[in-house]
Structure 1
Amino acid sequence: MARQTIVFLMLVGMSIADQPNSYGQQRYQPVYKEEGKPYQFNYGVNDEYAGTDFGQNEESDGNTVRGSYSVQLPDGRKQTVTYVADHERGYQAEVTYYGEAQYAKVYGPPVTFKPQSYGQPQKSYGPRPSYQPQPIYQPRPSYS
């Protein structure tokens, strides 16, 4: 009898330990790790008309990611972030600023940019069709 009780309690304990959590998943899921893949990319935008200036470059050897990005701030400075990231040390960044912050002493109306004209504008639609009015139908008199 004692042996049956012990076996029963072991089976109950194993079934409770294998219950899914509140999210409907098993408690321990296998972790699949893939090898890192080397890559490299960069881009930059410098639009003097709209006042945007930003860019980024990044490269990875499959284990460590190194890169930097920069952006022109509204106060006139350029912010550059240089970073290194890996699985052992995490994300480490160094932030530097180029230039001196400048603030307007007199505030006026907001600056707006007029669209540039590149010659004669072309219409993207044809002439309006001329529709003929539909005839009006009168109901027939009913003889009851």
Structure 2
Amino acid sequence: MTVPIFVLALVLASALSVYGQFGGGHNEHHHLEEYIDYKAPPHYHWDYAVHDLKHHDIKSQHETRDHDQTKGVYTLLQPDGRKRIVEYVAGKHGVDYKVRYEGHSEHGGIGSYSG
């Protein structure tokens, strides 16, 4: 049984590649490892927004965290036409929410209750 020459070349190239990765070759590559400090205090900021008039999907959110305290606010356009605004602060002792509304409820608006 004869083995095609390209198969033998492929096996030889693979073996040399593996041999070189583990320090056997002359061209050793030193990879830098990323250092992650898992004990560092958390700190982040993010936000997003959606403004889709076709599907009446209008909302946004903003949040920041510094050490043990997380603060944020999110808004959304409710089916009755009012804008709901929720502000929150979370920490060691729980979460505090403050909810308020802007605008007036529109009778017959998208998803409104008509009873």
Question: The TM-score by the shorter chain falls in which range?
Answer: 0.5 to 0.7
For residue 58 of structure 2, the aligned residue among 53, 56, 69 is 53
Task: Provide the TM-score with structure 1 as the length reference.
Answer: 0.47
For residue 94 of structure 1, the aligned residue among 64, 84, 98 is 98
Unaligned runs of 5+ in 2: 1-38, 110-115
Root-mean-square deviation (Å): 1.9
Unaligned runs of 5+ in 1: 1-33, 106-144
The match for 2:47 is: 42
Pairwise CA distance, 1:35: 5.1
Q: Distance in 1 between matches of 2:81 and 2:103?
A: 7
Q: Distance in 1 between matches of 2:90 and 2:97?
A: 8
Pairwise CA distance, 1:36: 3.6
Question: Which one has a larger percent strand, Structure 1 or Structure 2?
Answer: 2
Task: Provide the TM-score with structure 2 as the length reference.
Answer: 0.58
The match for 1:103 is: 107
Q: Secondary structure at the match of 1:54?
A: strand
Per chain length, whose mean CA-contact separation is higher, i.e. which structure has more relative contact order (CA < 8 Å, sep 6+)?
2
Q: Distance in 1 between matches of 2:92 and 2:108?
A: 44
Pairwise CA distance, 1:91: 0.2
The percentage of aligned residue pairs carrying the same residue is 31
The CA deviation string for residues 37-62 of structure 1, in whole angstroms up to 9 with x for no partner, is 10110000001122110010000112
Aligned residues: 72
